[in-house]
Amino acid sequence: MQFWFEFASTYSYPAALRVETLACRHGVPLEWKAFLLGPIFQAQGWNDSPFNLFPVQGRYMWRDLERICADLELPFRRPSQFPRHSVLAARIACRFAAEPWLPDFVRAVFRANFAEDRDIAQPEVLEHSLNELGLPGAKLLERARSPEGKTPLRARTEQAVTLGIFGAPSFIVGDELFWGNDRLEAALAWAARSLDQTVNTALKPEPPG
Amino acid sequence: MQFWFEFASTYSYPAALRVETLACRHGVPLEWKAFLLGPIFQAQGWNDSPFNLFPVQGRYMWRDLERICADLELPFRRPSQFPRHSVLAARIACRFAAEPWLPDFVRAVFRANFAEDRDIAQPEVLEHSLNELGLPGAKLLERARSPEGKTPLRARTEQAVTLGIFGAPSFIVGDELFWGNDRLEAALAWAARSLDQTVNTALKPEPPG
């Protein structure tokens, strides 16, 4: 299952914090796909988060998120800025997508934004998160900010559009798209069923003949 | 718990078909509140369903709804017209909100729109649904179309705005708003907890003294 997330996206926060545990429990392999929603929103004429453009929806979303985090026992503090610039964090997550520390880094950045109200647009904040994981933060940041660090994120975001992704978090299982933290369970159930079918097909004895 | 629904709204369909059973199971009293989304969308500059205005979201929604109905074993056929005019159906549901046949009528209209692809804007379709319930369809329609039949729905839709409702289905429990078919369980859990607290408070013995 592919997990498509945006560091500035509110509902990506609970999804990012629980996706690995749930995927493990279902035996579903997980791919972490950071991308940017900004260009996707701009393409449909929105120059800000829809939660800012449509304040009634925005008010609801903050209360809904607060209830969801309380239910999941996740710490939550409403960020004093929203949405925060997530380009640099996404570049890191995209450039180092294959590193074993990636899930820990992703969770640390989401906690910084939505539980600690820290500005994830600031390189120092991201460097701190990397250092805390025992990694050479300054060096990794430098590599993510280089021209070669920028290309993967641009390609990733274009791929999101091709896949029909229009919001975050999104989950992709084969040809199926699931949108929203509240679709995580359905996406995993779909992935687990697909895996079962693949295994059953592989184990099916050859027809006699 | 108040259940706010719009007959043209896709996600209101699975909610309308399962809300009564689930509310009974939780011991939560239910109020059925038909309203119109059109004026609410118009107020934020949308002259059509957002699923038509934003076709990528629209494509996703139809597939998502199809999966949800399959999971719930609800019949589903994509309506050949969307959204259908729901004013007359909503007037009936609003004018006769207190009638014991109301939930059956609501379900019949949702099935007509989303399982049978019938045009619920046509009085004959609604009259047929009423007749099928053993009711005097023509007479009830006439009363819903009279001036006194129009006022309750207008007031109801204004009340929705006051309550911060911006989409359908929505659920209201005390001061809490829950939006979407996927929030039905959370809304019921909230309602059940509130009821428990009320009962516990009422049963608490007077302090001695």
Q: What is the pLDDT of residues A73-98, one digit of tens each?
A: 999 999 999 999 999 999 999 999 99
Q: Which residues of B touch A167 (CB under 8 A)?
A: 57
Sign of the Cα torsion A106, A108, A113, A119 reads: negative
Q: CA-CA distance, A71 to B188, in Å (whole number)?
A: 14
B163 touches chain A (CB under 8 A): no
In this structure, what token pair is assigned to residue B197?
């607290």
State the smallest CA–CA distance between residue B169 and chain A in angstroms: 14
| The pLDDT value given to residue A208 | 67
Closest partner residue to A164 among B56, B71, B179, by Cβ? B56
| The pLDDT value given to residue B198 | 81
Number of structural domains (chain B) is 1
For residue B205, the 8-state DSSP code is P
State the smallest CA–CA distance between residue B57 and chain A in angstroms: 7
B119 touches chain A (CB under 8 A): no
Instruction: Provide the 10 A C-beta neighbour count for residue A17.
Output: 20
**pLDDT tens figures, B124-142:** 999 999 999 999 999 999 9
Cα separations (Å) of A122 from A23, A118, A164? 31, 9, 30
Task: Please give the model's pTM, rounded to 2 decimal places.
Answer: 0.93
Is residue B208 included in any domain, yes or no?
no
In this structure, what token pair is assigned to residue B196?
């428990």
**Angle in degrees, CA A170, A171, A177, rounded to 5:** 90
Residues in chain A, pLDDT under 50:
none
Q: Which residues of A touch B187 (CB under 8 A)?
A: none
Q: CA-CA distance, A144 to B18, in Å (whole number)?
A: 49
Using a pLDDT cut of 90, give the percent of chain B over it.
89
**pLDDT tens figures, A118-145:** 999 999 999 999 999 999 999 999 999 9
Q: What pLDDT band is residue B18 in, cutting at 50, 70 and 90?
A: very high
Angle between helices A12-26 and A55-72 in degrees, nearest 10: 40
In this structure, what token pair is assigned to residue A5?
């997330």
Closest partner residue to B60 among A44, A71, A177, by Cβ? A177
Helix (H, G, I), strand (E, B) or coil at B113: helix
Is residue B170 included in any domain, yes or no?
yes
User: Cβ separation of B166 and A64 shorter than 8 Å?
Assistant: no
Is residue A195 included in any domain, yes or no?
no
Q: Which residues of B touch A71 (CB under 8 A)?
A: 186
CA–centroid distance for B46 within its chain = 21
Helix (H, G, I), strand (E, B) or coil at A170: strand
Within 137-156 of B, beta carbons closer than 8 Å to A belong to none
Is residue B136 included in any domain, yes or no?
yes
Closest partner residue to B166 among A60, A67, A180, by Cβ? A60
Is residue A192 included in any domain, yes or no?
no
Q: What pLDDT band is residue B25 in, cutting at 50, 70 and 90?
A: very high
A179 touches chain B (CB under 8 A): yes
Is residue A7 included in any domain, yes or no?
yes
Q: CA-CA distance, A130 to A127, in Å (whole number)?
A: 5
Is residue B209 included in any domain, yes or no?
no
Q: Could you tell me whether strands B176-179 and A2-5 are parallel, antiparallel, or unpaired per DSSP bridges?
A: unpaired
**Contact partners, residue A136, CB within 8 Å, separation at least 6:** A130
User: Cβ separation of B179 and A59 shorter than 8 Å?
Assistant: no
> Mutate which of B11, B44, B171, B173 to disrupt the A interface (most A C-beta within 10 Å)?
B44
Cβ contact B121:B84 at 8 Å: yes
For residue A84, give the CATH number of its domain.
Answer: 3.40.30.10
* Residue written as token pair 């009422």: B202
| The pLDDT value given to residue B202 | 78
Q: CA-CA distance, A25 to A194, in Å (whole number)?
A: 15
Sign of the Cα torsion A26, A32, A38, A41 reads: negative
State the smallest CA–CA distance between residue A129 and chain B in angstroms: 34
State the smallest CA–CA distance between residue A108 and chain B in angstroms: 28
> Mutate which of A69, A166, A171 to disrupt the B interface (most B C-beta within 10 Å)?
A166
Within 61-100 of B, beta carbons closer than 8 Å to A belong to 63-64, 67, 71
A178 touches chain B (CB under 8 A): yes
Instruction: Provide the 10 A C-beta neighbour count for residue B25.
Output: 10
| The pLDDT value given to residue B208 | 67
Q: CA-CA distance, A195 to A53, in Å (whole number)?
A: 41
Q: Which domain holds residue B55?
A: 2-203
Is residue A116 included in any domain, yes or no?
yes
**Contact partners, residue A5, CB within 8 Å, separation at least 6:** A12, A15, A16, A32, A33, A34, A35, A106, A168, A169
Q: What pLDDT band is residue B53 in, cutting at 50, 70 and 90?
A: very high
